[in-house]
Structure 1
């Protein structure tokens, strides 16, 4: 009787140094790094001094809480921004 055992393989993944997400293909990861919300060079919302993170607690128990926002009154309803001309580094 023969018993088949699994064969180990080595897989190369490429990881973003800012958010730790991985991709199988290097060009896909390079493209991600250029627009990563946590990359200060991308001038994205999450690395901006004007970014206001979401607050799940509202002023009273029935209130759903507050969405994330921008102190410069840019709309984030369509999603976080990258390449913002009003971006400023966090202190």
Structure 2
């Protein structure tokens, strides 16, 4: 539940300045805390709060339901199998 700003920016493919603005919004909502990094005085750690974890779980659940509804209306089982194969290849490429 804790990442440095630079690691988080890399993971979500944001620039650090762009992420810094968004983190400010999340801090105001009480969803994350921005704390000095003990190991690197130039860095900040972003810590997900309990409220932030609940909001993330709600957003993930809502997102999955919306995606599922759209995909179920358009794709059949063969399409889902093909999509799964493509997504697994993309994930492997990103992870390597």
TM range (shorter): under 0.3
Larger radius of gyration: 1
Provide TM-score, normalisation by structure 2. 0.24
Structure with greater strand percent? 2
Provide TM-score, normalisation by structure 1. 0.25
Structure with greater helix percent? 2
